[in-house]
A and B are shown apart, each in its own frame.
Chain A
Amino acid sequence: MTLLNPDADERSAELARARRRRNRALFTLLSGIIAAVVLFEGFFALRDSQAPKLVVALFAMVWGGGGMAILYLIANQLVEFTPSAWQRRLTPIVFVLPAIAFVVYFLALPAVRTFIASLFDRDGSNFVGLANYITVFTEPFMLVTFRNNVLWIVFGASFTIIFGLLVAALADRSKFENLAKAIIFMPMAISLVGAGVIWKFIYAVRDPSDVQIGLLNAIVVAFGGEPQAWIAMLQPWNNLFLIVIVVWMQTGYAMVLFSAAIKSVPTDIIEAARVDGAGEFKIFFSIIIPSIMGTVVTVSATVIIFTLKIFDVVLVMTGGQFGTDVIATQFYNQYFVNRNFGLGSAIAIVLLLTVIPVMVYNLRQFNKRETL
């Protein structure tokens, strides 16, 4: 019979293919739903779990890493069942939407929500307009805060860049390049809290009749001076003793970028200058510095952003006392200690505004590169 009617045969085969296709699509959809439910349940299981911590962590890695992979796989297969015009539209969504959703929920949307909160009073019940912003820019304690952030940016960024350049230039000419770089680089692996402990030990002060166990005061006493409480005295210069910590941590970053940039300056230009009798200082300032200017700007922007957001060091070293508050600690104190939600939110928005120039610069750089 089949031999007699090839058309019908083809049609039924096609129907069977379509049915199988539909069944597969349904099956994928079903497994997608099951996977989603299991992952969702996993969320609650992980949230409420009483199991040993490392077991929970291990399970979370499987849950997070594996779950992601399965969801992507299933979503992609579902898309492949759609007509090809739809496929072209849907595949990019499968690829980029999860990351975008996360970033929007955790960063973009909160900016809006914080801005709205900043227009309300301390417990968010009454609309007060810009009153919180007026407080931010007029209250003496806020002005001290801003002054400190300026100190952080000016001294923190400039010393980081100077030391970074110095070490990069010197290491480039030394046999101990790798060792020296590793030493300068090491503080980058340490937490700001850990660095705070390290430097608190250096600044430790005791009664003048006792032996000084803090290195700085021991040196001062050895030269006949009086021991000082470095991070409490001499306001506002006590801020410098906190800034030193971040210079110590960030110089490694600056050095690595400068070192890479210096090595990419063409050697024949330098050789030619040398043949013409230029001294090393002249070569450094009139050839090397101009050709790595782009890197200098990048490093400055990064270090400025880092110092603007500085929080841990100040909180651990002084808790913001002795006139050392910065924007980030002031935010924490106002919001979480004083429970002034409106003012805290306004401070956070001001912090956001201060980084906008760098944001714009980054976007410009990126656009420039993309059009090339």
Chain B
Amino acid sequence: MAKSKGNPFPRVFVNVTLVVICLLWLIPTLGLFVSSFRPRDEIMSSGWWTIIPHKVWVTTEQFTPDPSIDRNGVMTFEGATGTFEELRKGVESADGDKRVVWIGNKRAGTVQVQEKEWSGAPATTLQNYHDVLAGKNVTIANNQEEAARKGEDMADAFINSMAVTFPAVVIPILMAAFAAYGFAWMRFPGRKMVFALMVALLVVPLQIALVPVLTDYVHLRLNGTYMAVWLAHTGFGLPLAVFLLYNYISTLPREIMEAAIVDGASHFKIFWRLVLPLSTPALASFAIFQFLWVWNDYLVALIFIGNVPGVQVLTMRLADMVGSRGSDWHLLTAGGFVSMILPLIIFFSLQRYFVRGLTAGSVK
């Protein structure tokens, strides 16, 4: 980069600030990710950041103090001095490399001598994922006993999410492409007005549409079916789809179109053989948008699927878990990650198309 030559702006400052911001952005997700692999008891007893190697006090020696010591006064063990109350909390020795803790009550307690050691490799487990995916009741065979504990059925919700999302991405694409071509390359009365309607509808809040559509769905017995969500997402996604594809298709070179028309090709043929293949990047960016939007959607699913069992998508299951098992962090962290894995993969592998779609001017 030529910019950097003679740049008076300290490069160190740039990089340090950037690293700090990136860490701030990364740490929340990292916490979730790390915690999802920690055993349940460890999640509840220590922060996830303690997996970073650090010095911890480890008990090296334990003894019953001499019964003759005055337990109401100041006592000294291994160079650490303090009253009973202080010792209960732990007192470090004068040179700081030992700590003494009184365990138990005043009369019959014991004394632990601790030394600092590096924390070992953190315990990891896949049990959380098993619990969150396997079903409502999970039995785990411990060494001694077989324990039943409550899990979650997120595997089922994962399949539901796929069943909801893929058709909701595929169905609107072709419809939007036809319409975008029509608006871009055909002349018909009312063209501008109708397209203005599309642009206006880009920002219309879904809330406005939920209730009337829901009323009709009840009459059609569509409530709680995948179909309900596919059709709704098709309708809600079309303005953005038409807008994005229009932006792309209307900039295709005029000469190509005119040459095709002179050759006597019909609009349908031009669209099918020429425009659709040329528009692949725009189609891809809309597909990613729609995928992320539908997969991550909570509101539409909540309204049109409601509490019908067996159809619930991931966002609904996860939100339910937050409500009903708010402190079961071993389930919430694993469940959260399960809900994110597919969009993250798609996002990072197709980021190029996503960015192109964003910069093409979306105002959803």
Chain A residues near B (Cβ < 8 Å) = 43, 46-47, 53-54, 56-57, 60-61, 63-65, 68-69, 72-73, 76, 80, 89, 91-96, 98-100, 102-103, 105-111, 113-114, 117, 163, 166-167, 170-171, 173-176, 179-180, 182-194, 196-202, 204, 211-215, 218, 248, 251, 253, 256-257, 260, 267, 270, 274, 279-280, 298, 301-302, 305, 308-309, 311-312, 315-316, 319, 328, 331-332, 335-336, 341, 344-345, 347-349, 351-352, 355, 358-359, 362-363, 366-367, 370
| Contact status B18-A311, CB under 8 Å | no
CB proximity of B312 to chain A, nearest CB, Å? 12
| Contact status A57-B49, CB under 8 Å | no
| Contact status A362-B363, CB under 8 Å | yes
CB proximity of B300 to chain A, nearest CB, Å? 11
In this complex, the member of A68, A107, A171 whose beta carbon has the largest number of chain B beta carbons within 10 angstroms is A107
CB proximity of B318 to chain A, nearest CB, Å? 5
CB proximity of A330 to chain B, nearest CB, Å? 10
Contact A64 to B170, CB < 8 A, known contacts A107-B209, A176-B18, A311-B299: yes
Q: A60 to B333: give the CA distance in the assembly, Å.
A: 32
| Contact status B207-A362, CB under 8 Å | no
Using CB atoms, name the residue of chain B closest to A197: B336
| Contact status B21-A348, CB under 8 Å | no
The prevalent SS among residues of A at the interface is helix
Q: A117 to B215: give the CA distance in the assembly, Å.
A: 12
Inter-chain pairs besides A64-B171, A173-B11, 12 sampled, C-beta below 8 Å: A117-B211, A173-B1, A174-B18, A190-B344, A215-B27, A218-B49, A248-B28, A260-B359, A331-B207, A352-B204, A352-B205, A363-B199
Using CB atoms, name the residue of chain A closest to B160: A53
- Cβ 8 A contact of A167, one of B21, B32, B295, B347: B21
In this complex, the member of A64, A214, A316, A344 whose beta carbon has the largest number of chain B beta carbons within 10 angstroms is A64
Top 4 closest A-B pairs, CB basis?
A106-B235, A95-B182, A191-B296, A64-B171
Contact A57 to B28, CB < 8 A, known contacts A95-B178, A194-B296: no
| Contact status A96-B178, CB under 8 Å | yes
Q: Which A residues are CB-close (under 8 A) to B44?
A: 213
Q: Does B121 contact A (CB under 8 A)?
A: no
- Cβ 8 A contact of B163, one of A56, A117, A366: A56
Using CB atoms, name the residue of chain A closest to B322: A316
| Contact status A248-B25, CB under 8 Å | yes
Q: Which B residues are CB-close (under 8 A) to A170?
A: 14, 17-18, 21
Contact A194 to B299, CB < 8 A, known contacts A61-B170, A174-B18, A363-B200: no
- Cβ 8 A contact of A106, one of B163, B236, B343: B236
Q: A340 to B188: give the CA distance in the assembly, Å.
A: 44
CB proximity of A234 to chain B, nearest CB, Å? 20
| Contact status A184-B25, CB under 8 Å | yes
Q: A267 to B7: give the CA distance in the assembly, Å.
A: 13
- Cβ 8 A contact of B22, one of A73, A180, A302: A180
Q: Does B292 contact A (CB under 8 A)?
A: yes
Q: A43 to B222: give the CA distance in the assembly, Å.
A: 10
Supply 26 A–B pairs (Cβ within 8 Å), ascending by A: A64-B171, A93-B188, A96-B178, A98-B178, A103-B198, A106-B234, A107-B209, A107-B236, A114-B208, A173-B11, A182-B348, A186-B344, A191-B318, A193-B296, A194-B339, A196-B322, A197-B333, A199-B28, A201-B329, A213-B329, A214-B47, A256-B359, A267-B2, A305-B364, A309-B207, A362-B199
Chain B residues near A (Cβ < 8 Å) = 1-4, 6-9, 11, 14-15, 17-18, 21-22, 25-29, 31-32, 35, 43-49, 159-160, 162-164, 166-167, 170-176, 178-179, 181-183, 186-188, 191-192, 194, 196-213, 221-222, 225-227, 230-232, 234-236, 238-239, 242, 266-268, 271, 292, 295-299, 303, 314-315, 318-319, 322-323, 326, 329, 332-333, 335-336, 339-340, 343-344, 346-348, 351, 355, 358-359, 361-364
CB proximity of B263 to chain A, nearest CB, Å? 16
Using CB atoms, name the residue of chain B closest to A360: B200
- Cβ 8 A contact of A100, one of B49, B163, B166, B179: B179
Using CB atoms, name the residue of chain A closest to B310: A53
CB proximity of A35 to chain B, nearest CB, Å? 15
| Contact status B211-A335, CB under 8 Å | yes
Using CB atoms, name the residue of chain A closest to B4: A173
Q: A192 to B232: give the CA distance in the assembly, Å.
A: 20
Q: Which B residues are CB-close (under 8 A) to A175?
A: 15
Using CB atoms, name the residue of chain A closest to B192: A370
Q: Which A residues are CB-close (under 8 A) to B239?
A: 103, 107
CB proximity of A281 to chain B, nearest CB, Å? 9
Using CB atoms, name the residue of chain B closest to A92: B188
Q: Which B residues are CB-close (under 8 A) to A344?
A: 211
Q: Which B residues are CB-close (under 8 A) to A76?
A: 266, 268
| Contact status B14-A173, CB under 8 Å | yes
CB proximity of A118 to chain B, nearest CB, Å? 10
Q: Which B residues are CB-close (under 8 A) to A248?
A: 25, 28
Q: Which A residues are CB-close (under 8 A) to B242?
A: 99, 103
| Contact status A113-B225, CB under 8 Å | no
Using CB atoms, name the residue of chain B closest to A280: B9
| Contact status A312-B339, CB under 8 Å | no
- Cβ 8 A contact of A65, one of B171, B207, B326: B171
| Contact status B332-A201, CB under 8 Å | yes
| Contact status A197-B174, CB under 8 Å | no
CB proximity of A66 to chain B, nearest CB, Å? 9
| Contact status A257-B358, CB under 8 Å | yes
CB proximity of B166 to chain A, nearest CB, Å? 6
Q: Which A residues are CB-close (under 8 A) to B11?
A: 173
| Contact status B208-A111, CB under 8 Å | yes
Q: Which A residues are CB-close (under 8 A) to B181?
A: 95
| Contact status B211-A348, CB under 8 Å | yes
CB proximity of A121 to chain B, nearest CB, Å? 15
CB proximity of B40 to chain A, nearest CB, Å? 12
Q: A99 to B238: give the CA distance in the assembly, Å.
A: 7
CB proximity of A165 to chain B, nearest CB, Å? 12
Q: A111 to B200: give the CA distance in the assembly, Å.
A: 12
Contact A46 to B226, CB < 8 A, known contacts A174-B15, A198-B31, A213-B329: yes
Q: Which B residues are CB-close (under 8 A) to A311?
A: 298-299
Contact A92 to B26, CB < 8 A, known contacts A64-B167, A107-B239: no
